[in-house]
């Protein structure tokens, strides 16, 4: 059984958008699931060897349709426009 780890997460506030940065080493973009409900972002990632899970409380309401995400070298970046 694989231990579920909690990734380190930073929330950066820009003028018109929020950026959520999460460290998920060993994971590719296709292994990550994002779920936004209200102001709570759930990040779940899993591979054969690793599992990550974290709920992140966002400081602002965001537009769920505006999501942009990328994952490079184990660093996930998710951007939302502020609502």
Task: Name the 3-class secondary structure at 31.
Answer: helix
Where in the chain are the domains? 4-81
Residues 53, 59, 30: CA angle, nearest 5 degrees: 35
State how far Cα 55 lies from the chain centre. 9
Contact 43, 9 (CB under 8 A): yes
Going by C-beta distance under 8 Å and a sequence separation of 6 or more, which residues neighbour residue 33? 42, 43, 44, 45
Question: pLDDT tens digits for the chain (83 residues)?
Answer: 679 999 999 999 999 999 999 999 999 999 999 999 999 999 999 999 999 999 999 998 999 999 999 999 999 999 999 98
Collapsed DSSP state (helix, strand, coil) of residue 64: helix
What is the tens place of the pLDDT at every residue in 18-35? 999 999 999 999 999 999
Domain 4-81 falls under CATH 2.60.40.790: yes
pLDDT of residue 1: 63
In angstroms, the CA 60 to CA 69 distance is 18
């Amino acid at each position: 059984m694989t231990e579920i780890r909690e990734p380190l997460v930073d929330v950066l506030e820009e003028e018109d958008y929020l950026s959520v940065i999460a460290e998920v080493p060993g994971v590719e973009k296709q292994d990550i699931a994002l779920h936004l409900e209200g102001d709570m972002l759930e990040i779940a990632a899993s591979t054969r060897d690793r599992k990550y899970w974290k709920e992140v409380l966002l400081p602002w309401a965001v537009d769920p349709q505006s999501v942009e995400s990328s994952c490079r070298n184990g660093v996930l970046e998710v951007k939302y426009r502020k609502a």
